[in-house]
Structure 1
Amino acid sequence: MKKNRNEEDRVIGRMAEAAGVPKELVLGVPVLHITGREEIRLENYRGIQEYTEELIRIQTRTGQIRLTGKRLNVEYYTNDEMKVTGWIQSIEYL
């Protein structure tokens, strides 16, 4: 019987912890650092799907993250991380 993705991720996560490696690094899951309602730093993303001042949709390995708010701005992005500023009203995982 084939294991499902969540079960595989749990096993890999436990192995990473046992080896002393951060599981988010091994699994490639998104990591969000939120500072109040005005700043989010996001690691482990694949790309920006939609970008307006009211909505930013970001593709990750595990799905999409949807940020809504006002005056949203991607201050910078690299292959590893991005920083979004503005008035963040909601964060949704799709």
Structure 2
Amino acid sequence: MIKIKNTRNKIEKLLEIPVEVTTNIPKITLIGFNQLMIENYTGVIEYEEHLVKINSSIGIIIIEGNKMNLNQINENDVLISGVLSKIYLESTEEE
């Protein structure tokens, strides 16, 4: 198993493939204070005007703000807009 993982890592580096493309790790892009794009999410847990919780492979992504909307949502990514004030990750892994 380790040999396969090492080979995959070498191929990724050689081809310069971003890690989020070959794994299920979410990519979070913040655009100013008004937009947030999350790629590789697994679901929307909660959506309110002041709070959005997004499930991912590494934990729950929590976004707080005002007048928030889910502008774009599909199986791969979600675009959140509004006045964003806090973004944090709640890990689901045991420490």
Normalising by structure 1, what TM-score? Answer: 0.81
CA RMSD for the aligned pairs? 2.0
Normalising by structure 2, what TM-score? Answer: 0.80
Give the counterpart letter for 1:70 in structure 2: N
Structure 2 counterpart of 1:6: none
Separation in structure 1 between the aligned mates of residue 7 and residue 80 of structure 2, nearest angstrom = 30
Identity of aligned residues (%): 22
Structure 1 counterpart of 2:93: none
Structure 1 counterpart of 2:13: 17
Which whole-Å deviations, capped at 9, do the CAs of 1:9-39 have from their partners, x for residues lacking one? 9x68843224432211112111111111000
Structure 1 unaligned spans of 5+: 4-8
Structure 2 counterpart of 1:62: 58
* Stretch moving more, 18-27 or 64-73: 18-27
Separation in structure 2 between the aligned mates of residue 63 and residue 31 of structure 1, nearest angstrom = 13
Structure 2 unaligned spans of 5+: 91-95
SS in structure 2 opposite 1:17?
Answer: helix
Over 3 Å off, 4+ runs: 11-15
